[in-house]
Structure 1
Amino acid sequence: MWKAALLFLGAAALCAATRSDDIAFKKHHLDPGAAESCAFADINGDGRPDIVSGDHWFEAPKWTRHKFRELPFQNNYIDDFSDLPLDVDSDGHIDLVTAHWFSRKVSWWKNPGKGKGVWKEGGVDTGMNTEFAFLVDMDGDGKAREILPQYGGKAITAWYEFKGGRWVRHQVAGQSHGHGIGAGDVNGDGRIDILTPKGWLEAPAPGVEGNWVHHPDWEFKEHLGFLYVHDVNGDGKTDIVSSNAHDYGLFWLERTPNGWKKQVFEDVWSQAHATALIDLNGDGRKDFISGKRFLAHDHDPGARDPLGLYWYETVPGPQGKGIYWARHIIDYGSMAGGGMQIPIADIDGDGDLDFAVAGKGGLYLFENLTRQPKAAK
């Protein structure tokens, strides 16, 4: 089992300390409408990443808005909790897989070609509240084309593949094991395991359906966001990075000879539902991007605190021992919240990474100004 530890100094980790903002971002407010999720995808096939959010897609480079579907708006939420770009039917056009909480389903929307007009909705699965989902390479073919959703309540754990013209459900467990989900090779056997707030599910050998072994190595009562498999401190051992989606805290689980040790590296803001693990500054080490979701739930701790977006740089500790997470403030005190997803893309072809967020304050694009963008043709 893991042990809780908030460290300020030490070999293992340091809690987040704010550093100078050495990456400048330009904020673009693309749409004021309330949203929850967004994604980058080349919808019209012109080679540029467009943005999808809610009922609309926004065409690069001027971010012209196109309505392509009608989603319900309920209890101050649009029923769009994850958007996953995927050419489902392999026709050369990027379609969209969407997770719906209130409609209790996962759907996919067929791109008619260049994104124009109304998209036709198809079903993936129904009957379960779906708070978020992501694409993952579950079959080991090197392509992240399978869907791993986070089902609410006492629903199942399952992943889905599009095969033979239909979506096939692969049930992993008879329960969801809590709020939060992730995927990665935990034990180093080359297979993709599934992570939950109550341990991890070991993938069976290739060709073996079912028989996923549950390892209750940790247990969180908190509602987590995504769980990432990543060697945080470079010791060659698998660690895990995650967040409290409806409370305070960003943390990682360090793999030690005595089990998993919880290391908190941020605890001053809450509702870190959306996260991204990526090398943002190009130094070869993965960084962590997150932000406070705008009114995720009515009574979450810190729900009325100011919104903020941050990235956390993994920096080697003194004498190269351990690491610490350096907090960089991207935006603070505006209406830009972290939402349900933080998609990453190089929107202008300049070689640095930009990102977008969508929340009840609208859709925002954060353009990385590290390098000069190429002139639009």
Structure 2
Amino acid sequence: MKLISSYSRFLNRSLFLFLFLLWSCSGQLNKKPGKAEVLPITWEHLSSKNGDIPAPGPSNQQTASLILDVDKNGINDFIIGARKAAPALLWYRRLPDGWEKYVIEPELLAVEAGGAFHDIDGDGDFDILFGGDTSSNEVWWWENPYPDYSSDRPWKRRTVKNTGGKKHHDQIFGDFDGDGKTELVFWNQGDKALCFAEIPEDPSSETLWSYKKIFTWEEKIQYEGFSKSDIDGDNLLDIIGGGMWFKYQDDNTFKAITIDKDMFFTRSASGQIKEGGSAEVVLSPGDAKGPIRWYEAVGAPLISESWIAHELLDSMVVHGHSLQIEDINADGFPDIFNAEMHTPGHKEDASCRIFYGDGKGNFTLSVVSTGIGNHESRIADLDGDGDLDILTKPYTWDTPRLDVWLNNGTKKSEAALPLNKWKRILIEEELPYRAIYITAADVDGDDQSDIVAGGWWYKNPGSAGGEWKRNTISAPLNNMAVVFDFDSDGDTDILGTKGEGATANSEFVWARNDGKGNFEILDNIPAAEGDFLQGVAVARFSAGGPIEVALSWHKANFGIQMFTVPEDPVKETWKWRRISEFSQDEDLSADDINNDGFIDLYLGTSWLQSPGNGSDQWKLHVIGKETTGLADRNALYDFTGDGYIDAVVGLEFGTDILLFSSQGDPTVPWPRRIIAEDVGGGFSMDAADMNGDKKIDVILGEHRAKPSNRLIIYENLGGINWKPHIIDNGLNTKIDHHDGTQAFDMDNDGDMDIISIGWYNPKIWLYENMSIDRNP
């Protein structure tokens, strides 16, 4: 596969690879390159009984748990809920050497099993939600007070529901009706109903949330358990629970499809545990004795008879109240975590187990512990080292008690550079006007990467902390679109428009470089059609054909357009044409998506197949749908290591980072995963190997986050698991990132640095990567 961007970007990243390999050969790194080795997992056991973790309590009925990054530092914390004695909710905040306990809810509440988290009030941090048990008809949410925390300061509690039936065992958040907004779904066992609630416009008010019942029953049974996946491949999240899945209908209702009518009182998990086809479902008895099974749809998942059950154990599970699907051993295939309660439950035979999957429907059983109670135990990275650990929470056995099992087996290669050593440098205090793009290239031929943005270029002073002198490219080129060696003379030229910032202008000129950063402006380019650019890609889109420049505009209905660079780009007039009426009006990436030898265009959730002959017969393929909002920035690489191209997509009006995987046939819908949730927009994103482990990571700069815009690297741990590294929390500056966070080696030291640019605050920033010791 060939990734085509600007010529200078290719050279810059090639230089990074060369310098990194040179550095590794010097003895700093001693591992051979290749696919990451999956090591056997060992578990380090920590327990509050041994003083390793602050003890919860005093309640002896620990009903709930959540794992989430409460304080936005990139490392997970966890929440413990309890009833029968106060406090009802505790937060365990992760510190470098353990956990510190904070009280969230000091009062006595009848907290039931379940719970969920989401940025309910839209202020940029996770809030939490729990429901009442058989003694309560209430559901509550707590507002995260980020960044003002105190170990004895409770969070503000607000009521979601205080009428109707009692008992609310399990809740889940997601956009289940495709309206771009997140909803709350919860079981109300006392009302014999599955309930669907829109988050109010002002959830911080004291007004109760409105909700509707989307499923009811009359039998003397109880449904419970939740998961969410796109079951039928329509790129809409579906609700899974109670042995069923629920499909949203066009009339704003949900249709219940039975998976297994006998598995109603169960825990639910879902995911792509077998490659290809629909997502699979796993069901385990949570408060009973019964089988643990995984289910696949061998026909249409809308037909109950299509669902085939596969036994995971020969014996029965007893109160297997903990169930989750994760890639625990980082081999690229999801595994199944299941654990039993002790009392009530399997007593001394209570097992915590992992079924390691191979992606083909085969599993290998491994037992982590026996005789220790598990209730709402969960899997996540608890110590920030990039692998998945286990939080064990018993219900009533030996309580108050907590246990943690730290995964010491799936360590990163020693060749990986650290991602926590960064220096932020302000390059431009205030641009004369907003610039659409920012990039880096060696403009003046001194083998240093300079910065290009808007109508200017900034000379690299030779050290990242030096003075970056601003130089005007030359009027009337006011908005750089792309840098490329258009005249093939060995130096970087610049193509751009005459408009400033978001001013509508589709007139192009190009700046011919003399190799020293002096430019001759040439206007032998016809005008295009559009307002201001959102996507540009340069490539030879046909075998042996000319260099061409694809364009995507901000305003709708302009399609995808193309400039063809003539053999003599100085004396001959460039040609313009429209190659597609369809456009997603955002970013463009170019690569040979279907491996036919021709470079195609990726648009966000669709791609245009190059005809390979210079014609305008580009075939459209729609590969998926956003979770919420609209596709904005994107990047094409093999992120999963399976040899096929994938796409990472950031969102406008959405808070997820998405990963679409082609898996061999890019003309059919691509399976979608979520890399990260609740980020402050996907307006500024790039992808590169940031730590030298031969896996492509994702860099995201937030644009509309609250209370600040962070810069985050999502470290690729194999394509399924991603570890966030917050390299700038943005709290002490008004930085925002817009079409920025671009990775280049700006100081020629062999690691990737990051340049970025703001829109609300039009400044230019350089983040210098300090991971390689220059004086070993």
SS at match of 1:327: strand
**Match of 1:367, as an amino acid?**
E
Please give the per-residue CA displacement for 1:146-189, whole angstroms capped at 9, x wherever unaligned: 32222231002123231143322353212324434332222222
Matched-pair contact (CA < 8 Å) for 1:179–1:197:
yes
2:564 corresponds, among 137, 145, 161, to 161
Q: State the shift of 1:137 in Å.
A: 2.2
Change (3 A) 1:43 1:197: closer
Report the equivalent of 1:364. 765
Q: Match for residue 10 of structure 1?
A: 326
| Contact kept in structure 2, 1:39 and 1:83, CA below 8 Å | no
Distance in 1 separating the partners of 2:581 and 2:700 = 31
Most deviating of 165-174 and 345-354: 165-174
Could you say if the C-alpha distance between residues 344 and 163 of structure 1 is closer, same or farther in structure 2, counting changes exceeding 3 Å? same
Indicate the larger mover: 120-129 or 24-33. 120-129
Taking a change above 3 Å as real, the CA distance of residues 138 and 366 of structure 1, as seen in their structure-2 partners, is same
- Aligned residue type for 1:50: D
Q: How does 1:70-109 map to 2 (within 5 A)?
A: 80=479, 83-98=481-496, 101-105=502-506, 106-109=508-511
Who is 1:114 aligned against? Answer: 516
Partner residue in 2 for 1:247: 654
Cα separation, partners in 2 of 1:59 and 1:143, compared to 1, 3 Å: farther
* 1:51 corresponds to: 451
TM-score (norm 1): 0.80
Shift of 1:199: 2.3
Is 1:314 the counterpart of 2:716? The answer is yes
Cα distance in 2 for residues equivalent to 1:210 and 1:18: 53
Q: Does the 8 A contact of 2:700 with 2:711 survive in 1?
A: yes
Q: 1:22 to 1:195 in 2, by over 3 A?
A: closer
Q: Any conservation in 2 of the 1:54–1:71 contact (CA below 8 Å)?
A: no
**Alpha-carbon contact 2:687-2:743 (below 8 Å) kept:** no
Distance 1:209 1:143 in 2: 11
For the pair shown, the structure with the greater C-alpha radius of gyration is 2
Provide closer, same or farther for how the CA distance between residues 261 and 332 of structure 1 changes in structure 2, counting only shifts above 3 A. Answer: same
- Bigger shift: 341-350 or 135-144? 135-144
Alpha-carbon distance between aligned partners in 1 of 2:451 and 2:605, rounded to the nearest angstrom:
34
Matches of 1:169 and 1:267, distance apart in 2? 40
Tell me the CA shift for residue 234 of structure 1.
2.2
For 2:688, the equivalent position in structure 1 comes to 278
Aligned residues: 352
Change in Cα spacing, 1:17 to 1:95, as seen in structure 2 (3 Å) is farther
* 8 A Cα contact 2:559 2:582, kept in partner: yes
Is contact 2:536–2:587 with CA below 8 Å preserved after alignment?
no
CA distance in 2, matches of 1:372, 1:327: 23
Letter in 1 for 2:643: G
Q: 1:16 to 1:64 in 2, by over 3 A?
A: farther
Q: Which position in structure 1 is the counterpart of 2:618?
A: 212
Deviation at 1:129, TM superposition (A): 1.9
Given that residues 681 and 705 in structure 2 are in contact (C-alpha distance below 8 angstroms), is that contact kept between their aligned partners in structure 1?
yes
Distance 1:341 1:96, change over 3 A: farther
Q: 5+ residue gaps in structure 2?
A: 1-232, 238-269, 272-323, 328-332, 335-378, 386-417
Structure 1 residues 362 and 373: CA distance shift in structure 2, 3 A: farther
Structure 2 SS opposite 1:233 = coil
SS in 1 for 2:717: strand
Counterpart in the other structure of 2:360: none
Measure, in 1, the Cα distance between the counterparts of 2:384 and 2:438. 28
Aligned to 1:65: 470
Question: Residues 238 and 255 of structure 1 are in contact (CA less than 8 Å); yes or no, is this contact kept in structure 2?
Answer: yes
Q: Which residue of 2 aligns with 1:289?
A: 699
Higher strand residue share: 1
The range that moved more, 173-182 or 245-254, is 173-182
CA positional deviation for 1:140: 5.7
Percent identity over paired residues: 22
1:9 Cα deviation (Å)? Answer: 4.3
The counterpart of 1:137, out of the listed 528, 535, 539, is 539
| 2:727 is aligned with 1:330 | yes
Q: Which moved more, 1:131-140 or 1:7-16?
A: 7-16
How many Å separate the matches in 2 of 1:124 and 1:287?
Answer: 38
What's the counterpart of residue 591 of structure 2? 184
Q: Which one-letter code corresponds to 1:210 in the other structure?
A: D
Please state how far the C-alpha of 1:70 moved relative to its aligned partner: 5.7
> What SS does the corresponding residue of 2:589 show, helix, strand or coil?
strand
Give distance in 1, aligned partners of 2:381 and 2:694: 19
Instruction: Report the secondary structure of 2:695's partner residue.
Output: coil
CA deviation digits over 1:341-372, x for unaligned, max 9? 33332222211111210112511111111224
- Residue 91 of structure 1: CA displacement? 4.3
Q: Which has the higher contact order (CA 8 A, sep 6+)?
A: 1
- Bigger Cα displacement from structure 2, 302-311 vs 279-288: 302-311
Which of 24, 32, 35 in structure 1 is aligned with 2:429? 32
For structure 1, the 5+ residue unaligned runs are: 73-78, 294-301, 317-321
CA contact (8 A) 2:545 2:614 kept: no
C-alpha contact 1:137 1:146 (8 A) present in aligned 2 = yes
2:429 aligned partner, one-letter code:
P
Alignment root-mean-square deviation, CA? 3.4
1:265-293 Cα shifts (integer Å, max 9, x gaps): 21222222121111111100011111013
